Amino acid sequence: EQMWDGEKALEAVLQEAVSAGFYDAFHSPMDDGICRFSQKALQCSIYHNLPDTQRQHLHMDVARALETVYAEQLERVSGLLAWHYMQAGQPEHALPYWREVAREAAQWGDYTDAIDLLERMLSAIDHLPKRQQRRLRLECLLDRAHWLTALGRCRESAELLQTEYEAFSAVRESRLRGQYALALSLAHSQEGTWDQAVASAQQAIEDAGACQDGATAGQAYAILAMERYRIGRADEGASYSRQAISLLEQPETDTKRALAYFVLGLNCIVLGHFNEAIEAEAQTQEVGEALADPQLQASAAWATGWALATQGDWSAAMAACQRALATALDALTVAFSLGVLGYAHLEQGKPQKAVPYLEQAIRTMIQCGYERMQGLYTAYLGTAHLQQGELDRAQTLVQASQQIANATADRFGSGWSLRLLGQVAQRRGALEEAREHLDHAVRAFLSIRASFEVARTQLHLAEVACEQGEYQTASVHALDAYHRFTKLKVPIYIRHTQTWAASWGLALDGAA
C-alpha cells in the first residue's frame, strides 16, 4: 500500500492478478494477507526483464515502504532494508542497516559472521564521498576489533588497531579517538599485556572526558579496576569500579555496568569488605537474570561464593558455586567455580573434600593459561594437605605457589604462600622460621590493604608467640586481629579470636 500510486485501488488490481493466475491467493491488506506469484519462474522473469532504472526504483520504493511501515521497529527489517537499498544503488542508505545486521549477529555471539558482514559491507563503499568512506571504515574497524577480541583473537585485534594508529590520531572527533583507545585497551587486557592496556585505558578516559562520553570512560575505568585487582591494589581497584558504575547508567550499558559491579566485588573481597562485595555481585546477578546472560550469572555466583566462604558462611558459599557450575559456559568460569567450591570446603575444615575440587580447578587453569589463580588455588591445595598432616606435600605445593605468585606479581597470592610456609614451619617446630615467614606474609597483605588476611595471619603469629612462651607478644598480635575482624564485621572470626585468646589465658585488653 505504501508503494502503490496507480489509478485503480490496490485491492482491485491484485484481485485481477489473482483471477489471471499470476497470484496464488490474495487477502485484504486489512487482514494482513499477502499475495505471491503462482510460479517462481514467472516472478524471476518479470523482475529480470525490468529495465535497470525501473528495477532500482522498485527496490527504492520497497525500502521506503518498509521504513514507513516499520518506523518504530526498524531493527526487525534491517537486513531487508540493507539489501533493497543496495539493489537500488543507494549504498549510503544501505550501509547503516548492513552494519546493524552485523551488530545483531554479534549480540547473538556469532562474531565470525558479523566480521564477514562488515568486510563485505566495506567492499561496497567506493561510491561514498571520501570523508564518509574514511569515517565508516574506521567505525567498522572498531567493531571488527571488538569482535576479534570476543573470539579470543586478541593479538590480531591489537595488531589491527595498531596499524591504524595514525588514521585514528588524525581524527578530530575525540569520541572516535576515545573509542579507538578503549578497543585497544580491551584487546591488550584480554591478551594479558597490561601495561599497554592501562596506557590505552587512560587515553580513552582523557578523550572521552573531552566529549562527555560516559560509556567509553566507564568501560575504561572498569579495565583499570581489573588491572588494580590483578596486581593487588584493591583499594584503587574498588575506586575505579565505582567510577565506572557511576558512568555506565544508560540501559544500553547494562552489561558493562554489571561487569563493573563484578570487578568491584572482587576488589572488595581482597579488602575484606564482604558485605559490599556480596551486594555488588547481587547487582551483577540481577542484570544477568534480566538479560538472560548465563555468563554474568555464573561469574556473579562464584564471586559471591568466594566472599561467603571467606567470611564463614560455607553452606551458602557452596550453594552459590553449584549455581555457577550449572550456568557456566566456558572452561575458565568452571575453573573459578570449582576452585572457590574447594576453598569453601577448606574453610569449613573439610580438606579431604576440598582436594578434588582444587586439583580439577588447577588442571583447568593450566589448560586455560591463567597462572594467577592457578597460583592461589595451589596455595589453597597446599593448605588442604597441611590440614591433613601431609607436610612434605604441602611444602612442595607452597613452593610452586610462591613461584607463580612471584612470576605474576600477585601480592595477594604471595601473602597466602608466605603464610602457608610459616604454617608448615610451625608444624615442623621451626618457630623462628615460622615467625619470619608470617611476618613477611603480614607485610605482603598490608601492602595491598588486605586487612582481613592481615588479621588471620596475626592469629598465626600469636600462636607461634604462645608456643615460644612470649605471651605479651601473642596478646599484641591477637588484639590486632580482633580489632581488624571487628572493624570488618566478621562475627565468626571475632568469636574465634575471643575463644582462642581465652584458651591461652590471654586478655584482649582494649577489646570492645
pLDDT at 196: 92
Check pLDDT > 50 for residue 28: no
Residue 238 and residue 225: Cα distance in Å, rounded? 7
For residue 60, name the pLDDT band (cuts at 50, 70, 90). confident
Which residue, 422, 441, 419, is CA-closest to 431?
422
Q: What is the pLDDT of residue 102?
A: 72
Q: How far is CA 96 from CA 171, 223, 312, 356, in A?
A: 20, 29, 53, 52
What sign has the CA pseudo-torsion 178, 179, 180, 186? positive
Pairwise CA distance, residues 271 & 450, whole Å? 5
Q: What confidence category does residue 140 fall into, taking pLDDT thresholds of 50, 70 and 90?
A: confident
Residue ranges per structural domain of the chain: 1-49, 152-292
Q: Which residues contact 88 (CB under 8 A, 6 or more apart)?
A: 56, 57, 59, 60, 63
Statement: 152-292 belongs to CATH 1.25.40.10: yes
Bigger pLDDT: 495 vs 409: 495
Reported confidence tier of residue 30, pLDDT bands at 50, 70, 90: very low
Give the Cα separation of 207 and 247 in Å (integer): 15
- Identify the burial level of 137 via C-beta atoms within 10 angstroms of its C-beta, where 0-12 means exposed, 13-18 middle and 19 or more buried: middle
* Residue 26 pLDDT: 44
Q: Report whether 426 contacts 463 (CB < 8 A).
A: yes
pLDDT for residue 27 is more than 60:
no
pLDDT above 70 for 32: no
Give the pLDDT score at 186: 87
- The two most distant CA atoms of the chain are separated, in Å, by 109
pLDDT of res. 45 = 60
Q: How confident is the model at residue 346 (pLDDT cuts 50, 70, 90)?
A: very high
Q: What is the mean pLDDT of residues 340-366?
A: 96
| DSSP one-letter code for 31 | G
Check whether 460 has a pLDDT greater than 80: yes
Top mean-pLDDT range of 36-40, 208-212, 479-483: 479-483
Rounded mean pLDDT of the chain? 85
Q: Which position has the higher pLDDT, 182 or 90?
A: 182
pLDDT at 344: 98
Burial class (CB in 10 A: 0-12, 13-18, 19+), 252: exposed
pLDDT tens digit sequence for 231-284: 888 999 999 999 999 999 888 889 899 999 999 999 999 999 999 999 999 999
Query: Which residues are CB-neighbours of 397 under 8 A, at least 6 positions away?
Result: 378, 379, 381, 382, 385
Q: Is residue 2 very low, low, confident or very high in pLDDT (cuts 50, 70, 90)?
A: very low
Mean pLDDT throughout 275-298?
94
Q: Is 497 exposed, middle or buried (0-12, 13-18, 19+ CB in 10 A)?
A: buried
Which range is most confident: 149-158, 176-185, 352-361? Answer: 352-361
pLDDT digits (tens, 9 = 90+) for 384-419: 999 999 999 999 999 999 999 999 888 999 999 999
More confident residue, 418 or 365: 418
Closest CA to 351 of 322, 394, 379, 388: 388
Which is higher by pLDDT, 466 or 80?
466
What would the pLDDT profile of 213-230 be if each residue is shown by its tens digit?
999 999 999 999 999 998
pLDDT recorded at residue 29: 44
264 and 300 Cβ atoms separated by less than 8 Å: no
Q: pLDDT category, 128, cuts 50, 70, 90? A: low
332 pLDDT band, cuts 50/70/90, is confident
In one-letter notation, the amino acid at residue 334 is V
Whether 134 has a pLDDT exceeding 80, the answer reads no
Selection from 181, 104, 176, 201 nearest residue 147 by Cα: 104
The set of cell numbers assigned to 458 is 596475626
Average pLDDT over residues 378-382: 97
